[in-house]
Amino acid sequence: MKITTFPLLLFCCLLFATSAAAQESQQKNILFIAVDDLKPLLASYGNEQMHTPNFDRLAKMGVSFHNAHVQQAVCGPSRASIMTGMYPDHTKVWDLHTDFRESAPKLKSMPEYLITQGYETTGIGKIYHKGSSAPGHDGKSWSIPHIIPDNFDTKYGEPAFSYYQNEDTKAKMEALVKEAKTKGIKGNGKQRNYVFDQLKPSTESADVPDEAYQDGLYTIAAIEKLQQLKETGKPFFLAVGYQKPHLPFVAPQKYWDLYKREDIDLAAFQETAEGTPKIAYHSFGELKAYSDIDKSTNVGDRLPEAKQRELVHGYMACVSYIDAQIGKLLDALEAEKLMDNTVIVMWGDHGFHLGDHTLWCKHSNFEQATRIPLIFAGPGIAKDVVVAEQPVELVDVFPTLFELAGVKDPGYLDGKSLVPLLDNDDKTIIDRDYAISQYPRRKSIMGYSIRTDRYRYTEWHDNNYRSDKTYKEENIIGVELYDYQEDPNETRNYATDKTYREVATLLKKKLQAHLNQQLKNKH
């Protein structure tokens, strides 16, 4: 029997549409929660002094990785890596200024790829590093434009320089701006610098509601976006990026009141490690940019205990402030009846030194800088599971989310899917037993660090070495080895200890093999 062309064409179109609709219906939504400078200082990660009921609630909903590490402990490179699923040596982002769209233009971001798979994608707050992202906060990533809401309640007004709500601080800063203008200093940036040279508090506890600071507005906007995305009927990727606990440590007073400053635990080891090369350290210039911090302090010098307690108190208050925002997001997801079809991931973009090794902030290859909280929850994920020993990396998030959401992996990513680890079966594993981090010093030096379940081994390479070049022994200017079973605070470098010779040799081979493989995989 002869079949006419038109019915056949109609049949094919209907078949394609039905197939596409079926695929779309199987795809899961993704709620992507980024928290700036968040180390695993959470109750669910064993820190009993912390008040984090909503982070803990999320942990009970899914799987927490307790040995998760970033690719580079500073936000620009770290965020470029997670958003592309690629190591910094492939994104070519090692600083706070480089846009991966310019340094590695062939790469696609996770949400950009999802748009091609039928997703609506949008973001609120800090997802990429602002200073190193293309216009529109990397506009190619969003089918619905990214936003940074600034609709502050007129009762409190906009925070001074996006940070401060204390009335006295705002008044002094306003006076300094006027003073700058009378001196002929023009431009917002120069006036800002003039003010901050004289007044830039590292902490603030103002008696204001959550929405008086930026992160509170981000939550309101995220909930509104959640409702809008649901109405589209399409699978969605909603990225929400919180800025606290990044410096300055500003949060509503009620979150400071959760902690007694005199009871706060300070870093147990506040010295430089025995035998560790100087190149491993930095003089925490980020913190010393604040007007209430002694700028003469250097590596090996402790901040006064009172200032340490104030800073740690502020960090903890900021974590609890973000915890409250996480709770509101989870409540909204439940209220919209989206929980059963939404994969959630929460991650920190790097850790944070709070006085250990006499260090503050991040910018190192030590444990406190590279280690982060990483939690997955949602359909296809076991509940209330801790994966404590398996080392994982932030580049693993991209392929993991795609597998969980039912989206085809683009096939070129540096990361590995962690789905085999998201169940209750100890026998399901991934074929990698380490995580890689790196950090540059000056223009010519790069430190590469490999973290296993027990050890960290780090090599510092000079002569502009990167993993897209040939590995050469003569480039190595420093080596570190730490044993977290025997020495969890990294008090001693075991790299030259005879009893660790076999361990050091094995880890060196693993690191070298990894770096050589990256050369083969050069993009």
Domain-by-domain residue ranges, the chain?
26-166+201-520
53-61 and 305-335 are packed helices; what angle lies between their axes, rounded to 10 degrees? 50
Residue 22 in this model has a pLDDT that exceeds 80: no
Instruction: Indicate the pLDDT class of residue 427, thresholds 50, 70 and 90.
Output: confident
Q: Is the peptide bond before 248 cis (omega within 30 degrees of 0)?
A: yes
Provide the pLDDT for residue 106.
96
d(C-alpha 343, C-alpha 405), whole Å: 7
Contact 437, 77 (CB under 8 A): no
Residue 390 in this model has a pLDDT that exceeds 50: yes
Instruction: Indicate the pLDDT class of residue 13, thresholds 50, 70 and 90.
Output: very low
**Tens digits of residue pLDDT in 186-210:** 999 999 999 999 999 999 999 999 9
Residue type, 157: G
d(C-alpha 347, C-alpha 34), whole Å: 5
305-335 and 214-232 are packed helices; what angle lies between their axes, rounded to 10 degrees? 20
In this prediction, residues 230-251 reach a mean pLDDT of 98
Q: Residue count of the chain, please give it.
A: 523
Residue 243 in this model has a pLDDT that exceeds 60: yes
d(C-alpha 103, C-alpha 81), whole Å: 13
Alpha helix (H) ranges present in 365-412?
367-370, 397-405
Q: Is the peptide bond before 209 cis (omega within 30 degrees of 0)?
A: no
Residue 12 in this model has a pLDDT that exceeds 80: no
Provide the pLDDT for residue 523.
55
Active site residues: 75, 129
3-state secondary structure 462-498: CCCCCCCCCCCHHHEEEEEEEECCCCCCCCECCCCCH
The encoded tokens of residue 162 equal 């996006």
In this prediction, residues 406-414 reach a mean pLDDT of 94
**Residue 262, Cβ neighbours under 10 Å: how many?**
7
**Tens digits of residue pLDDT in 50-86:** 999 999 999 999 999 999 999 999 999 999 999 999 9
Provide the pLDDT for residue 302.
96
Provide the pLDDT for residue 520.
87
Residue 279 in this model has a pLDDT that exceeds 80: yes
Provide the pLDDT for residue 389.
87
Provide the pLDDT for residue 249.
98
In this prediction, residues 462-482 reach a mean pLDDT of 97
Q: What is the mean pLDDT of the chain?
A: 94
**Tens digits of residue pLDDT in 428-451:** 889 999 999 999 999 999 999 999
What are the angstrom distances between the C-alpha of 250 and each of 61, 204, 245, 390? 29, 4, 8, 34
Instruction: Give the domain 26-166+201-520 fold.
Output: Alkaline Phosphatase, subunit A (3.40.720)
Instruction: Indicate the pLDDT class of residue 19, thresholds 50, 70 and 90.
Output: very low
Contact 413, 398 (CB under 8 A): yes
Half-sphere exposure of 208 (CA within 13 A, CB side): 25
Residue 23 in this model has a pLDDT that exceeds 70: no
In this prediction, residues 173-190 reach a mean pLDDT of 96
- Contacts for 218 with CB less than 8 Å, ≥ 6 apart: 124, 125, 149, 240, 241, 242, 243, 325
d(C-alpha 214, C-alpha 515), whole Å: 40
d(C-alpha 32, C-alpha 10), whole Å: 39
Is 358 exposed, middle or buried, given 0-12, 13-18 or 19+ CB atoms closer than 10 A? buried
Residue 10 in this model has a pLDDT that exceeds 50: no
The encoded tokens of residue 229 equal 């995305």
Residue 487 in this model has a pLDDT that exceeds 90: yes
